[in-house]
Structure 1
């Protein structure tokens, strides 16, 4: 955290990838928090039991789009949005670099900033463990959200998908480095250890005690399950697998096929698409594959 002095004391600022939040004023339980979002960054409001605050945002610059049942609503500079209290999930996405003020009638910043710090620490722990994973997670998140939106997922599912897709490899922080970065084929014993990373990911997210991360942990645990029931860790099949996990499975495979790794050179986009199509209905949910392939021009 970085403290920036102003006339009234200090503005508290917390940064996460793509997002900077600053508490600029507070009093009588009301807080005004400045947000700066980089392009294609998502920000959400979600209901919480016992939370009765008025929550209001005012766009200063840039543009936000909000997922609705009928598509998207765009908020430009000068537009505002409020709910009292929030009873649904709302997922906003910055179309370009965007700044907005968020006002809450109940104190939220210190809890909010702690959540941000927790997320930042999780991101750092992934990147320190495996340099490949940092960019990989960002790509998986971007492509997963494209597929989720094309499928018409609701705001609550999109929020869970956004979190789970970014943190899907989090459990690798518990995998020994010599296994994680081994250039050759893993032994059977090493492979069994590697397969535990999806379970570890759920456990780490559950330890945060944050409801939206705990929910994402269920998806993280399932992202290596297969449509035909031959995946891991539990051999789930078809509709037993959360749709968000099925999306990540396809996107994760595509990225793995097209990315250079110590043990193989990445293939072309066209070769990856052929491989994804070949596994339609076995490894991957056919509907997810069809939706993914319909977006090939945006991949």
Structure 2
């Protein structure tokens, strides 16, 4: 039997993504030992797999995280172990400080998730660059959406779906010509109809992947320009016909767009953008989401400034 000496500094493979560094330390007979470094404020999840039989455990080495287990929020700290065989309920971990933990699975998972993370990041960066945004636009949308989701008490499964959908909300713009995306003047009627199709294109792109997470996120991506009063697109859904997750992304995306310089206009001030949200509360936007987002404006400002 071949034996290999690995360490945190010399792993078999490393993947970095959105405040998360993952290192494969050992693998054999289907079992994997994986080191995770989660930056403060970043999240990580364990989700049940259809037909899954794996035993999964995490051991906290350094730092602390909060996790909601069957409706109860708990703190995990160095020396704590969380195990499931198999995982039957989803868990979302949120790092309260920089945290290290060891994840052990009786079935190989590293390759699947490393490919998923790379695909997710590549798609988001591609659309951000094509749409004229800085690459951290998708990151801000994701972070703020997750904060709102936590305030709303979303389930771990919905939080996981929201994570992917918020980060990839505009992925369909990959299929929109740059001449339309970056046009400095008003769009023609034909150009506007094509622009609105980015929601449908995004849904189709995510449905084409092999990832169940991206498949679940596809509906949110399709709906994130629907309006609470039914005057949005692509289907003219209204109120409870719209997924609450899409309503979250809609508010965060609109606010970030209003407060960011675009090729066709200068950014609004934070106060001006807040007034726009209030003015469109109950028409464009879901009232509950608007209220929660305004309460979280200080968190958004820190993200915008890179604090």
Pick the TM interval, shorter chain. Answer: over 0.9
d(CA) in 2 for partners of 1:15, 1:292: 29
Cα shift at 1:10: 6.3
Cα shift at 1:21: 1.6
Give the equivalent residue in structure 2 for 1:206: 207
Cα shift at 1:121: 2.6
- Match of 2:221, SS state, is helix
- Match of 2:284, SS state, is coil
- Match of 1:125, SS state, is helix
Query: Could you say if the C-alpha distance between residues 69 and 28 of structure 1 is closer, same or farther in structure 2, counting changes exceeding 3 Å?
Result: closer
Unaligned runs of 5+ in 1: 1-5
Give the equivalent residue in structure 1 for 2:67: 66
Query: Could you say if the C-alpha distance between residues 297 and 15 of structure 1 is closer, same or farther in structure 2, counting changes exceeding 3 Å?
Result: closer
d(CA) in 2 for partners of 1:125, 1:267: 25
1:268-279 equivalent positions in 2, closer than 5 A: 268-279=269-280
Give the equivalent residue in structure 2 for 1:7: 5
1:233-260 Cα offsets, whole Å, 9 max, x none, are: 0000110000000111111111111111
Q: CA RMSD in A?
A: 1.8
Give the equivalent residue in structure 2 for 1:36: 37
d(CA) in 2 for partners of 1:177, 1:190: 11
Task: Check the 8 A contact 2:66/2:96 in 1, yes or no.
Answer: yes
Task: Check the 8 A contact 1:40/1:96 in 2, yes or no.
Answer: yes
d(CA) in 1 for partners of 2:299, 2:126: 30
Query: Could you say if the C-alpha distance between residues 133 and 232 of structure 1 is closer, same or farther in structure 2, counting changes exceeding 3 Å?
Result: farther
Unaligned runs of 5+ in 2: 301-307
Q: Under a length normalisation based on structure 2, what TM-score does the superposition of the two structures give?
A: 0.90
Give the equivalent residue in structure 1 for 2:254: 253
- Match of 1:33, SS state, is strand
Cα shift at 1:229: 0.6
d(CA) in 2 for partners of 1:223, 1:126: 16
Give the equivalent residue in structure 2 for 1:215: 216
Aligned residue pairs, count: 294
d(CA) in 2 for partners of 1:50, 1:18: 30
Deviates more, 1:53-62 or 1:224-233: 53-62
1:233-244 equivalent positions in 2, closer than 5 A: 233-244=234-245
Q: Does 1:186 align with 2:187?
A: yes
Query: Could you say if the C-alpha distance between residues 209 and 51 of structure 1 is closer, same or farther in structure 2, counting changes exceeding 3 Å?
Result: same
d(CA) in 1 for partners of 2:223, 2:134: 18
Structure 1 runs, 4 residues or longer, greater than 4 Å off = 68-71
Task: Check the 8 A contact 1:65/1:94 in 2, yes or no.
Answer: yes
